[in-house]
Amino acid sequence: MEWVNLHISTQLRHPSFVGSSPAERGTWLSVLAYACSIECGGRLEGAATWRDRQWQQAAGVTLREVKSAYKLLAIDGEDIIINGYPDEREREIQQKRNAGSAKTDRKAMAARMNGVKGGRKKPNENPTEEPNETEQKNPTDNPTPNPTEPIEGEGEGEGELEGEGEVARVREIIPTPCVGDTEVVAAILLDPMFHKIFFAYPAGRRGTAPRAIAQIFAGLDPPPVLADVLAALQQYSNSDEWQREKGRFVPRMARWIESRAWEGAAQCKPRREWKTKTTAAR
């Protein structure tokens, strides 16, 4: 989400907000803005274990400030729960985004089918004269083509828009760099390798906007090689842990990147293939 609505009665006049100091309110607002940018559902997974540097890079606050705002930022195990998070608004935006992506794919498919049929008919610039009486009486001079025979030009244009739906989907979901983006974030957003990483991650566990993911990549030190990240992601996607129980144990994309989990891809176990045991003949 690129912006946040603050409801007066449920947020700004809530007892937890009114009873907090101005510094604690500012800390909550900074963390809320970061959480909305990554669309985390109001829960920052693993954020309770972050150090000052991670908090400063992500939300521009310190660990001490986060702990002091306990009325507005609750600690649940290793996670941070942001009070007043607009989760309903987040679901609404994600539904619209998914609907827009599906609509774009349908348009691309319609364009591709239109290309298969030869494209739009062009107006006849040189219309022929109407047939005379002799031509009307002898229809065999212009026989109707046999439907079983191939028609000249049939299939022309097929494949011209191959991959157009994927390009449109990238343009629809991956935002273009804006004025507020740093040079590093802008470069990541335009990198096709970043697009592959984002779409290769399990859709149900992304939970984060593409720009926020790019910001996380930009804040990593040392900076990762995106090609290595993609290779490791593909290895994780085929691992036993990620395939078990319909991806229940797949972490959120933001957490997977922040922990530099791709560096441990060599330790993940591949998906087990169960083989049928055969009994020896007696």
Q: What is the pLDDT of residues 29-82, one digit of tens each?
A: 999 888 888 888 888 988 889 988 888 888 899 999 998 988 899 888 889 998
In this predicted model, what pLDDT tens digit does every residue of 230-281 receive, in sequence order? 999 988 888 888 888 777 888 999 999 999 988 887 666 666 554 444 444 4
Q: How confident is the model over 105-115, as a mean pLDDT?
A: 63
Burial class (CB in 10 A: 0-12, 13-18, 19+), 199: middle
Give the pLDDT confidence score for residue 40 in this predicted structure: 84
| Cα 232-80-41 angle, rounded to 5 deg | 70
Summarised one tens digit per residue, pLDDT across range 191-223 is 999 999 999 998 888 877 888 999 999 999 888
Long-range contacts of 8-11 (CB under 8 A, 24+ apart): 10/84, 11/84
d(CA 218, CA 281): 62
Residue boundaries of the structural domains of the chain: 8-85, 87-120+152-173, 176-267
Per-residue three-class SS string for 164-178? HHHHHHHHHHCCCCC
Would residue 77 be called left, alpha or beta, if left means φ above 0 and alpha means ψ between -120 and 50 degrees? Answer: left
Phi, psi of 101, deg, nearest 5: -65, -40
At 226 the pLDDT is 92
Q: How far apart are CA 143 and CA 133, in angstroms?
A: 17
Task: Classify residue 73 as left (phi > 0), alpha (psi -120 to 50) or beta.
Answer: beta
Residue 179 confidence (pLDDT): 78
Mean per-residue pLDDT of the chain: 76
Mean pLDDT of 75-94: 85
